[in-house]
Each structure stands twice: as C-alpha cells, then as structure tokens.
Amino acid sequence: MTKFSDLKLDPKVLSAIADAGYETPTPIQAGAIPHALEGKDVLGIAQTGTGKTASFTLPMITLLSKGRARARMPRSLVLCPTRELAAQVAENFDIYAKNTKLTKALLIGGVSFVEQDKLIDRGVDVLIATPGRLLDHFERGKLLLTGVQIMVVDEADRMLDMGFIPDIERIFQLTPFTRQTLFFSATMAPEIERITNTFLHAPARIEVARQATTSETITQKLVQITPPRRDQAAKAKRELLRALIQAEGESCTNAIIFCNRKSDVDIVAKSLKTHGFNAAPIHGDLDQSQRMKTLDSFREGGLQLLVASDVAARGLDIPAVSHVFNYDLPSHAEDYVHRIGRTGRAGRKGSAFSIATPADDKYLNAIEALVKMEIPRAETPEGFSLSEAAHREPRQYDDAKGGRSKSRNSRGGRGRGERREAPVEEKVLEVVAEAVVEAPKREERREERREDRRDDRRERGGRGRDGGGPAVVGMGDHVPDFLLRSFRTARPSTAATDSESDATTEDSSES
Ligand code: AMP
C-alpha cells in the first residue's frame, strides 16, 4: 500500500498531513499526486468524500514552495462551483500549507472587493475562486492571469449544471498555454469530455469508484404517501417529515433535509422552526455570511437540521451526518446518490429517508434504474396520520393570504381571522407553498375575486362609518325588485349590452 512518504511531497507538507491525522493516501491521492508532482495534467474522476481536495492541494503546495508571487499575478488558481466549496478548499489549504510561507486569497461573491483587491495587490501564490467573481475582478483590471502556472478545476460537473462552462472556457483562455491543469469531476458528461479534450494536454486519467449507493452503512427507506388533496401535498409532506424526524428520536443527531426548490427550502425550514425543531435553510439566494454562519453552526453541532438545495449542499464536507431526508425526490437521479452519500461516510452508520407521492413516480423509476435496486419501502411512523388541515381545501387559510383580508378586518371588518386554527406563520407558509407548487384552480380564483369584491364593499361601508361621510343606511336582506332588474340603454339595444347588464345583475346578487 502506498504511504504518504512514498509520494515525494515536500517534508513540510508531510508533517502537516501527519498533524491532520492522515495515515495513508486515499486512492485518488495515491493515483493523482505522483503525476501532478511530475508537472503532468491530471483528469481526476472522483467525487466529494474521496479526499480529492488534498489530491490537488498537496502537490500544488509542493510545486509552489519554490518561487515568489508578484503583485496581481497569482501563481495558481483553483476554481470551485460554489462559495462554500471554495471556502472549504481554502480551509484545507491552510491546514496543509501551515508550515510554508505560501499565501492565498479567496475570491467569492458576497465578500467586499476592497479586501480581496488588497490581497491580490500584495501578490498571492494560490487564488481560490468561483468563476463569476474571478471574472469580475479580471474585468475591473485588478487581476492578471498570465502568471498562472497551475490551474485546478474542481467539481466540473457541478460547473456544468450551474452554467459555468463558458466562464471556465474563458478563464482557460486567459491563462498561459503552458500551465499545468488538474481537472476534477464526479462524472464525465459529453460537455466535460469536450472541455478536457480542448484544454488538457495528455492528462493522466485517474478514476476512483463511485460511492456505492448500496453501501451497507446506509439504511435507505422510501415512505410513500398519497396526500388526500393534491393542493395540500406540500403540507402533507411537511407533516410526514416532522413525524419521521420525531420517530428517529435521539438517533437523529443531525440531518440534511433536501428540497428541489429554493422556495421549498425556506418554507420547510420555517415550518420546522415553527414546530420547535432546530432547523435553518441554506441555498444560493441567501447572503454569504448567513450561509457561512449556518454551515459553521451545523458543523459544530449547534444546528441539528440543515435544510438544503442540491446546489448549496454540493461538495460540502460535513463529517458526520446521521440522517438524510429527501423531502422531495430529486429530479436528477444522480442527485439521489450524492444526497444519500452525505450520511454513512467513512464506515459510520447512516439513514436516508425519502418521501414520495404518486406524482414522483417518474423520478422514483429513474432513481431505481440508476442505483439498480428497489429502495426499501417503509410504513409511515407508528401513529402517524395526516392532520385534518391536510384534508381541507387550502382556501380555509385565505384569511392569511398575504395578510390582505386580515388588514381589512382590522379596519373594522367582521373578523374572518377569528376562524384561525394553525399558527399564523404556518398558514402563511401554507399559502406560499400553495402558490409556488400549484397554481390555484380557476374556480378557486373566481371565488377569490368574489370575496375581494365583498371585502371591497365591506371596506367602503367601513370607511363611511369611520367618518368619511354620512353613514350608509342599509336595507337589510330585502332588495327591492327594481334593483335586480336589467336595464336597456336608450340607444338601440345590442346583445352585448344585454349580457353585460345581466352580468352586473348576477354580480350584485352574490354579496
Ligand atoms: P474531500 O473529498 O477532499 O472533500 O475530503 C473528504 C474528507 O476526507 C475531508 O474531511 C478530508 O479532511 C479527509 N481526508 C482527505 N484525505 C485523507 C486521508 N488521506 N486520510 C484521512 N482523511 C482524509
């Protein structure tokens, strides 16, 4: 078996690795490091959790230990698809380079340009960046890429998913042709193959086995429910999620809950918090410092449940996760593998629960075809039944819709808000979920408009009473016949005029 000492790494790097507690190189490290140290291009096909970060960072530090950086001309570049991943690479660099004088800068969005500019001006050995932010700096004329000797592209398949390939191509073209390229991807999609054929020169190809989805350390379960109403599916799924977490009890020390949409990440996290769970969201629309705070707290154990989108969670190295919950089945089957691979790492035991409704059948089929097995089915937790609210029409919650009716009521209306049963926040979530997941049916919209008109009338009456003019004298339930009659204009009548006036009559009879 290869030992680190066999790998011709700088002794300062070897001592840092020993301090980090690494005993033997992982397969991607044993495969990639010797080629990288010889100055060859490397194509590493490996995913997070295989030790791939060290497989490019360790040789980089060794190769860069001779020589000095010049102002605004970094000597090496590491491109990562997400801010979190870039920050993680930077942390790894600090660990492995602690015995050297090498300098680094991290260029990611959400951080002030001023501080980043200062570092670049001083000259850095290693620049770790997301593609967009790197190009921003370049375009502002603050950065030259002509001194880049080593360029790393990490998680290229994620770059592809996120639409960064044109940026990557541009960055490749801005760096010298003579650079060394270390290129990593978990999969080799045709577009990735094309990029590597264009920009890598006779690379050493090292492929490590994909994480086994049938790993004995991960217990997979699929819980299927048929929501009583399609428009209450989101609510039903949130109820089931809570029941699953509760049923796992203390064995669920920490978990990542995956949703397919950012909007659902927010809704699920808020809903869990409302029900007393220790949860927080992470997705690309959140402020960078917030994302970092949430991640740190999750890593340190302060936060128990991290609700995440696939993109935000990609590449994150979170050492021990006891559970993964798929609130949604992923629409890309490979994401199932990535998601559940977050638990059961390094021989630890882990559980992965997936919630599915009949609408997810096509995703389920694709996942099972990919992992070549049937995900074991599980019953809903003992004693679980959907709340009455999940059986009801979402219209029951109309009083919470955007607070609209509520504010009208508060101005003297007749307090429809008094019907409220669930916490206000939960109801607002309900309405948002309803709006995002499924457009209200036409009939419901029509009914809503009628209600609006009724509210408008009520409001107008209210204003009058509040002193806006003389009070309107009502006629009680009795409406004189002449008010319900349709009228003809003095002009020669047309069918349209008739039907319009009929419609007016119909409307007025609704209130
Ligand atoms: P990565 O695939 O780079 O995200 O690494 C996954 C985890 O494995 C990180 O927490 C590393 O610190 C750890 N790691 C990397 N190389 C080794 C090694 N040779 N021995 C033990 N742990 C390692």
Query: Residue 426 has what pLDDT?
Result: 59
Residue 331: HSE in the Cβ half-sphere, 13 Å Cα cutoff: 7
What are the structural domains of the chain? 4-207 (3.40.50.300), 218-392 (3.40.50.300), 445-491 (no CATH)
CA distance 433 to 319: 32
CA distance 247 to 380: 10
Nearby residues of 194 by Cβ (< 8 Å), 6 or more positions away? none
Dihedral sign from CA coordinates of 132, 133, 139, 144: negative
What's the gap between Cα 220 and its chain centre? Answer: 22
CA 9 to ligand 1 center in whole angstroms: 17
CA 50 to ligand 1 center in whole angstroms: 6
Nearby residues of 305 by Cβ (< 8 Å), 6 or more positions away? 245, 254, 255, 256, 257, 269, 272, 277, 278, 279, 280
Give the residue, by CA position, lying nearest to ligand 1 atom 21. Answer: 22
Nearest to 251, CA basis, from 326, 353, 338: 353
Q: What is the pTM of this model?
A: 0.56
CA 186 to ligand 1 center in whole angstroms: 16
Q: What angle do CA 230, 234, 235 make, to 5 degrees?
A: 100
Query: Residue 394 has what pLDDT?
Result: 63
Give the residue, by CA position, lying nearest to ligand 1 atom 9. Answer: 51
In one-letter notation, the amino acid at residue 280 is: A
CA distance 423 to 158: 39
CA 171 to ligand 1 center in whole angstroms: 28
Query: Would you tell me how many other CB atoms lie within 10 Å of the CB of residue 361?
Result: 12
CA 319 to ligand 1 center in whole angstroms: 9
What's the gap between Cα 477 and its chain centre? Answer: 55
Nearest to 409, CA basis, from 423, 425, 420: 420
Ligand 1 pocket: which of 5, 57, 317 to mutate (most atoms <8 Å of CB)?
A: 317
Using DSSP's 3-state secondary structure scheme, residue 110 falls into coil
CA distance 381 to 376: 15
CA 352 to ligand 1 center in whole angstroms: 22
CA 464 to ligand 1 center in whole angstroms: 72
Query: Residue 105 has what pLDDT?
Result: 95
Give the residue, by CA position, lying nearest to ligand 1 atom 14. Answer: 51
Give the residue, by CA position, lying nearest to ligand 1 atom 15. Answer: 51
Give the residue, by CA position, lying nearest to ligand 1 atom 18. Answer: 22
- SS3 track for 172-212: HHHCCCCCEEEEEECCCCHHHHHHHHHHCCCCEEEECCCCC
CA 27 to ligand 1 center in whole angstroms: 11
Nearest to 122, CA basis, from 57, 68, 51: 68
Query: Do the Cβ atoms of 376 and 218 come closer than 8 Å?
Result: no
Query: Residue 208 has what pLDDT?
Result: 86
CA distance 231 to 97: 54
Q: Is 167 exposed, middle or buried (0-12, 13-18, 19+ CB in 10 A)?
A: middle
Using DSSP's 3-state secondary structure scheme, residue 448 falls into helix
Q: Taking CB atoms and a 6 Å cutoff, what residues make up the pocket around ligand 1? A: 22, 25-26, 29, 48-54, 317
Give the residue, by CA position, lying nearest to ligand 1 atom 12. Answer: 51
Give me the average pLDDT of each 10-residue run along the chain (511 residues). 91 95 90 97 89 96 92 96 91 96 92 89 96 94 95 93 92 97 91 94 88 66 89 91 94 94 94 96 84 89 92 68 94 86 73 95 92 90 82 54 37 36 56 48 42 35 34 38 47 37 30 27
Atom of ligand 1 nearest to the CA of 49: 2
Query: Residue 216 has what pLDDT?
Result: 63
Tokens of residue 312, six digits: 């935000």
Query: Residue 75 has what pLDDT?
Result: 97
Nearest to 158, CA basis, from 315, 28, 52, 285: 315
Nearby residues of 503 by Cβ (< 8 Å), 6 or more positions away? none
Q: Which helix (H) or strand (E) holds 42?
A: strand 42-45
Using DSSP's 3-state secondary structure scheme, residue 282 falls into strand
Query: Residue 232 has what pLDDT?
Result: 83
Atom of ligand 1 nearest to the CA of 24: 19
Beta bridge partners of 206: 44
